[in-house]
Structure 1
Amino acid sequence: MEFFSEYAIFLAKTVTLVIAILVVLASFAALRSKGRRKSSGQLQVSKLNDFYKGLRERLEQTLLDKDQLKALRKTQAKTDKKQKKKAEAKPRVFVLDFNGDIKASATESLRHEITALLTLATAKDEVVLRLESGGGMVHSYGLASSQLARIREAGVPLTVCIDKVAASGGYMMACIGQKIISAPFAILGSIGVVAQLPNVNRLLKKHDIDFEVLTAGEYKRTLTVFGENTEKGREKFQQDLDITHQLFKNFVSRYRPQLAIDEVATGEIWLGVAALEKHLVDELKTSDEYLAERARQSELYHLHYAERKSLQERIGMAASGSVDRLVLNWWSRLTQQRFW
């Protein structure tokens, strides 16, 4: 016990010192940035063909001897020279990534990436979205889906690749693609709506605590956490969920009319193999396989809009990470457990 007491005191001192240093740095950064306009983000563009070429060349350098490698490079140089003489413009593929959380926070970057590519993309090009999301808030994923709809409306082919999961709001985004490609064991579907909240009104009454809910408008509040819920409120809440679900179904049907919507819009999920049978996807393949194939005939460009974080934000993230690591190390010592 004495060891743990000493360690707890040491931990408290260390955390206090780290926080004090970070507060000083944050104050200094605030003074420096005072009056400056907040910096915007930046669009980062990388050519994926170069990435694939680098992988291949690295493997060739390891497996081939000097003479073989020299002969191969000579042959490749001749091939490249012939292709340049033909001067045939290859189709372009713009690759985007969307890793969705419950608030679809990646929409902020997605909207800028789409705005940028639509200034150049034509019907001869293609947009490939690598999508990973288990869904989230209705309005957030509604906006993300609307951003993808801009690509369809501009007449640019859109392919959506799903390696792990595109469910609920994630599938709402995926269905906009003219082609949906899924890994065999990716999770798809969950075309449904859910809402849940606790109610502690009986607990409050047990302790003689009153909680007043005042509204102007009959349905300004239907279900609440602290107030006493009524059957009429529950019915209205369920009605709202049903309306949202119907809108969801209509949206999916609009972009994938081949679906038997009432059969798949039950809130169920399917793995890729079963999803193909339900017409939720068009092809079983990983995004790596699809892009490697496209790289043989096309120029692949990966777009990522990166928000520039202020010094205060970077310091805050560093502080959070430092405290988390200190607490984790302390807890690991106490419990002798490992965290992966």
Structure 2
Amino acid sequence: MRRFLNRLLPKSMRSEAVTIPVIRLHGTIMAGGGQFRPSLSLATTASLIEKAFAYADAPAVAISINSPGGSPVQSRLIYKRIRDLAAEKDKKVLVFVEDVAASGGYMIAVAGDEIIADPSSIVGSIGVVSASFGFTDLLKKVGVERRVYTAGKNKAVLDPFKPEKKEDVDRLKALQLEVHETFIDMVKERRGSKLKDDPDLFTGLFWTGKKGLALGLVDALGDMREVLKDRYGPKTRLSLVSSPRGFFARRLGFFGSSAPADIAGQAANGLLDAAEDRALWGRFGL
């Protein structure tokens, strides 16, 4: 009861330090990931989010976001878990953008009751993108014949080793439009009248935090420590929520029971993952 009454007092009259749990959601967003490519997904973030909202006396949860996006499904699942717990625990959610909160990263950011960004942060990119490669002539050059057998005429659509078909591309774009509409609805629901009437807002463009403030994509400019101490008093303590892994857990998690060939395969896949990861960050000059 004393702590509850203490929170009602002006910050200058508070007798106790307020502790604010902090979650760092940094990285690309996608299901899976692994040792060679740490990523954000509901599976990798759920326990952190639960722990942060378990701070009974904390008036708010602070979330640091630094993500160029990724899976729209995982982005929405993380967003929903944050909002569900915020309602259940009756806590305010303050989101702080570091380098970038774009695409799926911004989808997670709108889970915040307030979004605070650095003036030079990148925000926005409210759109959907699919990227792949075409290898239609590669197999001929290396003398390899590819054999694919399917049941169902559409089971091998957008095969990277075959020329594109217009109907396949049209089908993909239709799916993208549906996902894009869901994204737009989420942003409008959470940001509401704060959003400015700008024709470029939902085109996939992105802006600095300073411009994002003018567009209504963020609420303020600043950094986490300064904002939290100003809001909850100079004695405010930031408690980073993490899931540390011990020495043996790290070793077992990496090697497990895999044979050397499996580890080599994981490493090869890791190189491809790293290239894709680099491309996501590269879109924003990072």
After TM superposition, the score normalised by the length of structure 1 is 0.59
| TM-fit CA distance, 1:134 | 1.1
- Of the three residues 229, 234, 239, the one matched with 2:169 is 234
Alpha-carbon distance between aligned partners in 1 of 2:54 and 2:253, rounded to the nearest angstrom = 36
User: 2:60 matched to which residue of 1?
Assistant: 126
Q: Helix, strand or coil for the counterpart of 1:256?
A: helix
| Cα deviation digits, residues 170-209 of structure 1 (max 9, x gap) | 1001111111111111100011111111121234356775
Which consecutive aligned stretches of 4+ in structure 1 deviate over 6 angstroms post-superposition? 315-318
User: 1:270 matched to which residue of 2?
Assistant: 207
Closer, same or farther: CA 254–315 of 1 in aligned 2, 3 Å: same
User: 2:216 matched to which residue of 1?
Assistant: 279
User: 2:259 matched to which residue of 1?
Assistant: none
| TM-fit CA distance, 1:212 | 4.0
Alpha-carbon distance between aligned partners in 1 of 2:158 and 2:47, rounded to the nearest angstrom = 37
8 A Cα contact 1:151 1:158, kept in partner? no
Q: Helix, strand or coil for the counterpart of 1:305?
A: coil
Tell me which amino acid in the other structure corresponds to 1:141.
Answer: S
User: 1:195 matched to which residue of 2?
Assistant: 130
Alignment of structure 1 residues 1-340 onto 2, 5 Å: 92-103=19-30, 104-105=39-40, 107-108=42-43, 110-121=45-56, 125-154=59-88, 155-205=90-140, 209-258=144-193, 259=195, 260=197, 263-294=200-231, 296=233, 299-309=236-246, 311=248, 313-314=250-251
Q: Helix, strand or coil for the counterpart of 2:115?
A: strand
| TM-fit CA distance, 1:218 | 4.8
8 A Cα contact 2:119 2:208, kept in partner? yes
Alpha-carbon distance between aligned partners in 2 of 1:261 and 1:136, rounded to the nearest angstrom = 25
Worse-superposed segment, 152-161 or 177-186: 152-161
Closer, same or farther: CA 226–290 of 1 in aligned 2, 3 Å: same
Tell me which amino acid in the other structure corresponds to 2:161.
Answer: F
| Cα deviation digits, residues 235-280 of structure 1 (max 9, x gap) | 1111111111111111211211222486411111100111111000
Q: Helix, strand or coil for the counterpart of 1:166?
A: strand
Alpha-carbon distance between aligned partners in 2 of 1:216 and 1:256, rounded to the nearest angstrom = 46
8 A Cα contact 1:93 1:128, kept in partner? yes
* Unaligned 5+ runs, structure 1: 1-85, 321-340
| TM-fit CA distance, 1:108 | 4.2
Bigger radius of gyration: 1
Tell me which amino acid in the other structure corresponds to 1:144.
Answer: I
| Cα deviation digits, residues 91-140 of structure 1 (max 9, x gap) | 54222221122434375453213223434447x71111111111112222
Closer, same or farther: CA 174–87 of 1 in aligned 2, 3 Å: closer
8 A Cα contact 2:23 2:52, kept in partner? no
| TM-fit CA distance, 1:313 | 3.6
Alpha-carbon distance between aligned partners in 1 of 2:59 and 2:109, rounded to the nearest angstrom = 19
Closer, same or farther: CA 233–279 of 1 in aligned 2, 3 Å: same
| TM-fit CA distance, 1:144 | 2.0
Tell me which amino acid in the other structure corresponds to 1:115.
Answer: E
Q: Pairwise CA RMSD of aligned residues?
A: 3.1
| Cα deviation digits, residues 293-326 of structure 1 (max 9, x gap) | 24525643414232425627438979x9xxxxxx
Tell me which amino acid in the other structure corresponds to 2:82.
Answer: L
Closer, same or farther: CA 316–291 of 1 in aligned 2, 3 Å: same
Tell me which amino acid in the other structure corresponds to 1:267.
Answer: G
Q: Helix, strand or coil for the counterpart of 1:215?
A: coil
Q: How many residues align?
A: 233
* Unaligned 5+ runs, structure 2: 1-12, 31-38, 256-262, 264-286
Tell me which amino acid in the other structure corresponds to 2:228.
Answer: L
Closer, same or farther: CA 243–150 of 1 in aligned 2, 3 Å: same
Alpha-carbon distance between aligned partners in 2 of 1:137 and 1:193, rounded to the nearest angstrom = 10
8 A Cα contact 1:135 1:170, kept in partner? yes
After TM superposition, the score normalised by the length of structure 2 is 0.70
Q: Helix, strand or coil for the counterpart of 1:171?
A: helix
Alpha-carbon distance between aligned partners in 2 of 1:195 and 1:140, rounded to the nearest angstrom = 15
